[in-house]
Copies of this chain bind each other. A is one copy, B any other.
């Protein structure tokens, strides 16, 4: 059997190439089935009634007129879902707070944001369901609301939960507030650290919450059997969490619910929660029919996502030689209507590309009257990076050191400390800086009003639980299944790793995603974990198949299995001189399946540790229009250590995609709330994600510092690419126009205002 190290070091024409994607043709020909594309006979359509108020007590809901409408088969409110344990301020960290989750799915006591679901209708047509919504009479007591994170932290702010007492403070406060948690990370002695500093920069920042901006709205189809056997079809980043959450919220055992995977039109972290599935399933239970519900774009924008907005203060001290000696930071993250922002992630990532001997970071998780924050590509890290990398840039300017040089002086590598305890175990960061340093564009001269900005980023990358199966048919073709939703090309990368491990052509592997009834648990597709962890399960399943193939060949040849080796996709006698057997290919052996023991199967489950983090460094050139404040990005170069690229174009696509989303976050995207707390730009015409004409050439530099824990050296590639983008753009604007933008988005009016203020002070 092949050893891991043998595989990793084996030259390969396949690994790192870009074969045809299994999802390519179905997507471009329209045959791919997304969440909304599933239908069942007798199916009803559901629509959801949402609160128009940002903050209101629900005094009563009268659904009788809606129920009486012809064609309406069921009407539900939040109280139709079973109550969940109140795990709000328990002593231990509660990973999943179902008491919150059920109220996020549908409000009970209070509506906490404009768009919060308060009731739902299932009817024979969409039009009837819509009409029925208007017949539901909800009596609200409208309360004062708060949107902004700094305002939400004020003593006199309207409080969302009367019983929310900040955790992480000793002694616990006796007064309820919107601060759900205070966290602190510290190392060394910051007072002593700042004493050593020759230059200190301290700045405050604000970032806007931005939506994940996936093209495909949420959709779910559910069928509740009256014997409790249920099925759900939905688009998500993980049908196993859909199963777990939906079962818990509806009050079922996990295996009562079979969740089928659907093609996904983008998720970026935003499809790691349930909104519609429990509603559709409960309406199916109440009506006795299958129920389908599809969000409009407006619903997506008012009631799903986004990532947190923030308010931050960062202070860094550096010696004349460029060694960072002290860091202090305050990170206030919006959680939205329920606790749980990526504040801690943000703090952990904030300084993680640098060796900082003395640091103290304090964070706050703050609720306010907007949709509950959800994961978005390296959640937390880009927010913190905007602050830290802007300050580092300012330090480089003060010291007149090239920003790459400054970073190289402080760059982490294997053995460097982290602020959260264990040491870094992997290299890769320096290599991204060196890749940019060697790039000719980094040294190109700039024109008037042009500037170049550089920034770096860190992301953990994930491992964890995954399962994979390999089944070999008698014609030698191979079925590969995993339980990992294919968000970013995993069907392709899994097939490539399987083909490479088995020594068979890529084309002979059919790569699919199995439903929750047919394969072992797979953790969510997120955290850049799938190519690493699910890939590990795939490779191990292939190794098990090889072991089986050797045993079958040994049976056919009547020799000991140890005498058989597997090379280039065929069983061979280890000692070629021992016999004159022709090699038996996988196809040869598969054809004799029945007489050598029956079906050829392998299922492997892993809880993969040994993952390695993602590092990236990026620079961009911008030109600022002094008349309008408009920022044009001229070029963008992103170097990222991915360990090893399996499917090269997919990895490039991940890098390009992260940069594009970062550019939107940097320059345009924001939520515009009116004074009643209602979103005024709930559509893609007004919520401006970048389109092709907004974008420069993006060059993805794939850096490969292999992860020794993975047979092919994989680290993960999906997220870190977004981390430094806003800082890189901000730093470039600083270079182009002399203004330091500290608030996102850096839209034309904001830049123009900064230019005007600069002119006033000049």
A residues apposed to B, CB below 8 Å: 20, 22, 24-26, 29-31, 33, 37, 39-42, 223, 225-227, 229, 244, 247, 253-256, 258, 288, 290, 464-467, 469, 471, 473-475, 477-479, 481, 508-510, 512, 514-522, 593-594, 597-608
Bound-state Cα–Cα, A443 to B654, Å: 81
Are B508 and A253 in contact, with the CB atoms below 8 A? yes
Are B226 and A25 in contact, with the CB atoms below 8 A? yes
Are B508 and A514 in contact, with the CB atoms below 8 A? no
> Can you name the residue of chain B whose Cβ is closest to the Cβ of A243?
B473
Out of B227, B473, B514, name the residue touching A518 (CB < 8 Å): B514
Bound-state Cα–Cα, A208 to B517, Å: 44
Name 17 interchain pairs, CB-CB below 8 A, sorted by A: A24-B227, A25-B225, A25-B229, A26-B225, A33-B40, A244-B474, A254-B477, A255-B477, A466-B599, A469-B519, A473-B521, A481-B517, A510-B517, A514-B515, A520-B600, A522-B599, A600-B605
Q: A31-B223, A465-B598, A601-B467 are in contact. Are A477 and B256 (CB under 8 A)?
A: yes
Contacting residues, chain B, for A290 (C-beta < 8 A): 31
Give A685 Cβ to nearest chain B Cβ, in Å. 26
Bound-state Cα–Cα, A464 to B598, Å: 8
Contacting residues, chain B, for A509 (C-beta < 8 A): 255
Are A518 and B512 in contact, with the CB atoms below 8 A? yes
Copies in the complex: 2
Q: A229-B26, A521-B593, A607-B594 are in contact. Are A258 and B514 (CB under 8 A)?
A: no
Q: A477-B256, A521-B593 are in contact. Are A31 and B225 (CB under 8 A)?
A: yes
Are A473 and B254 in contact, with the CB atoms below 8 A? yes
Out of B288, B474, B607, name the residue touching A29 (CB < 8 Å): B288
> Can you name the residue of chain B whose Cβ is closest to the Cβ of A37?
B41
Bound-state Cα–Cα, A223 to B229, Å: 28
Give A247 Cβ to nearest chain B Cβ, in Å. 8
Give A563 Cβ to nearest chain B Cβ, in Å. 24
Bound-state Cα–Cα, A42 to B508, Å: 29
> Can you name the residue of chain B whose Cβ is closest to the Cβ of A598?
B607
Contacting residues, chain B, for A522 (C-beta < 8 A): 599
Contacting residues, chain B, for A258 (C-beta < 8 A): 479, 510, 512
Contacting residues, chain B, for A229 (C-beta < 8 A): 22, 25-26, 510
Are A478 and B255 in contact, with the CB atoms below 8 A? yes
Contacting residues, chain B, for A247 (C-beta < 8 A): 475
Give A251 Cβ to nearest chain B Cβ, in Å. 12
Bound-state Cα–Cα, A688 to B41, Å: 31
Are A253 and B605 in contact, with the CB atoms below 8 A? no
Are A514 and B512 in contact, with the CB atoms below 8 A? no
Are A479 and B597 in contact, with the CB atoms below 8 A? no
Give A37 Cβ to nearest chain B Cβ, in Å. 5
Are A518 and B520 in contact, with the CB atoms below 8 A? no
Q: A29-B288, A229-B510 are in contact. Are A254 and B521 (CB under 8 A)?
A: no
Contacting residues, chain B, for A516 (C-beta < 8 A): 479
Bound-state Cα–Cα, A603 to B464, Å: 21
Bound-state Cα–Cα, A519 to B520, Å: 12
Give A474 Cβ to nearest chain B Cβ, in Å. 7
> Can you name the residue of chain B whose Cβ is closest to the Cβ of A476?
B253
Bound-state Cα–Cα, A473 to B4, Å: 30
Are A598 and B593 in contact, with the CB atoms below 8 A? no
Are B599 and A465 in contact, with the CB atoms below 8 A? yes
Contacting residues, chain B, for A256 (C-beta < 8 A): 477, 510
Out of B30, B510, B600, name the residue touching A255 (CB < 8 Å): B510
Bound-state Cα–Cα, A660 to B481, Å: 42
Are A255 and B40 in contact, with the CB atoms below 8 A? no
Given contacts A24-B227, A26-B227, A481-B518, 15 further A-B contacts (CB under 8 A): A25-B225, A25-B229, A26-B225, A29-B226, A30-B41, A255-B473, A256-B477, A258-B510, A479-B517, A512-B517, A597-B607, A599-B605, A599-B606, A599-B607, A601-B603
Bound-state Cα–Cα, A484 to B624, Å: 66
> Can you name the residue of chain B whose Cβ is closest to the Cβ of A512?
B517
Contacting residues, chain B, for A465 (C-beta < 8 A): 593-594, 598-599
Q: A26-B229, A41-B37, A512-B518 are in contact. Are A474 and B254 (CB under 8 A)?
A: yes
Bound-state Cα–Cα, A473 to B465, Å: 12
Contacting residues, chain B, for A226 (C-beta < 8 A): 25, 29
> Can you name the residue of chain B whose Cβ is closest to the Cβ of A29?
B226
> Can you name the residue of chain B whose Cβ is closest to the Cβ of A289?
B31
Bound-state Cα–Cα, A459 to B281, Å: 46
Are B518 and A254 in contact, with the CB atoms below 8 A? no
Contacting residues, chain B, for A508 (C-beta < 8 A): 253, 255
Q: A30-B42, A514-B514, A598-B607 are in contact. Are A253 and B475 (CB under 8 A)?
A: yes
Are A471 and B227 in contact, with the CB atoms below 8 A? no
Are B599 and A521 in contact, with the CB atoms below 8 A? yes
